[in-house]
A and B are shown apart, each in its own frame.
Chain A
């Protein structure tokens, strides 16, 4: 089945770390992605991780992948008000039609 789940909302204070979680269902997924969407804008690719990796770090972003539990997380260190947005995880679904399956998105609200 194709199902990617995320919590709907996360609120943090400026300067704290944010952790956005995602669970996916296709154990054969090879690539998993994180996108950011600011109000009224398209989706911006943040980062992706290959399935043979457990962790990937890129400046303030850390992606953790637990293949056994099919769990993906995005940690944002020193969260800023400019990080307020909706964050989508996505898995590459290599079924009959190769496509990305997106989660429902997590709205991150950063309080000053």
Chain B
């Protein structure tokens, strides 16, 4: 069976510090990978998605970046955090499929607080 991991689970960082959140998937190969941000416990904002190693698409311009160094590893980074980067970050994966189906499975999330 497939599992998805995220770490750390919680993070408190000062403004201007760097960020690295990691997501890994087990039990599948060539997954689509996604980073979402959820602010104030509601509403999901898609940040990045990837269909393969080194292939990253950005949905929203911001000071965050994503990388996919390995097939089942997805990393969210920032060089300098802003207060507005606080939120709940969710990673998700889906199988490569055609025909309009993109069932996504979510990780447990990382709670980021920027002070």
Contact = CB atoms under 8 A, between A and B. Distances in A.
Q: Are A and B physically bound partners?
A: yes
A40 B105 CA distance: 16
Contacts of A31: 100-103
B10 to A, nearest CB: 9
Interface stretch (A14-22, A65-73, A75-83, A98-106): A98-106
- Determine the interface band of chain B, counting residues with CB < 8 A from chain A: 20 to 34
Interface residues of A, number: 23
Which of B41, B102, B107, B111 has the most chain A CB within a 10 Å cutoff? Answer: B102
Given A43-B90, A44-B106, A45-B103, A102 B43 contact: yes
Main secondary structure of the interface of A (DSSP, over half): strand
Contacts of B42: 86, 104-105
A92 B59 CA distance: 16
Contacts of A45: 103-106
Contacts, number: 53
A78 B49 CA distance: 38
B67 to A, nearest CB: 19
Contacts of B87: none
A99 B92 CA distance: 12
Contacts of A41: 108-109
A42 B49 contact: no
A100 to B, nearest CB: 6
A94 B98 CA distance: 10
B44 to A, nearest CB: 4
A26 to B, nearest CB: 10
A77 to B, nearest CB: 24
A88 interface: yes
A99 B102 contact: yes
Contacts of A94: 100
Given A42-B109, A105-B43, A99 B100 contact: no
Interface of B: 6, 41-44, 46, 49, 57, 59, 90, 92, 99-109, 111
Interface of A: 29-31, 33, 35, 40-45, 48, 86, 88, 92, 94, 97-100, 102, 104-105
